[in-house]
Amino acid sequence: MKQIAVLFFAIALTSCNSNTSKISEKEELYNYNIEEKINELGIELVNPEKPVANYLPAVKTGNLIFLSGKIPKDEDGKLITGKLGADLSIEQGYEAARSCAIAQLSTLKAEIDDLNKVVRIVKVNGFVNASPDFTELSKVVNGFSDLMVEVFGERGKHARAAVGMASLPLGIACDIEMIVEVQE
């Protein structure tokens, strides 16, 4: 009977040691390099701008990073302003939201250094500067969401809100924030 007990103990100990080593190893999340994928998409990440008010661009708590809203800029660095449904088309709004996504990727890279650590995009909140009768808010915020899926695949799919606002700071077309889960 003692031999059986010793055998079970040895098996249990081996099993614990093998599980511990699996937990401590970094899990490969992607079968491609995220930053190479971003380059293939023709996207250039930049150093994020410093906040202009009393807030942080990102706050990490546990494995979650909460990223402050980002504003859209064109290729020349000029703010994309206007109201959807009055001054801007859905396509222009889509591109503005995509610009916000690139700004968020830049901020996230500055925060965690390696975008391959992204476990998933958890939540996106899109605020769209829209006329009262504009109801295609989700088509605008798709510019952000589509890029997250292009970059992170299935891990880029997220919960989301797309809401219309009477106005946004500086008259910008949209302002988009996100929550991201990362590996330690």
pLDDT of 168-183, one tens digit each? 999 999 999 999 999 9
Q: Which two tokens stand for residue 34?
A: 């995220």
**CA–CA distance, 34 with 128 (Å, rounded to integer):** 28
**pLDDT at res. 17:** 44
Contact 49/165 with Cβ under 8 angstroms? no
How do the domains of the chain map onto residue ranges?
34-182
pTM given for the model: 0.85
Percent of the chain with pLDDT over 90: 83
| Residue found under tokens 């077309």 | 173
**CA–CA distance, 66 with 61 (Å, rounded to integer):** 8
Maximal CA-CA distance, the chain: 83
**pLDDT at res. 77:** 93
Indicate the range of 24-33, 56-65, 101-110, 131-140 predicted with least confidence.
Answer: 24-33
| CATH classification (class only), 34-182 | alpha beta
**pLDDT at res. 65:** 98
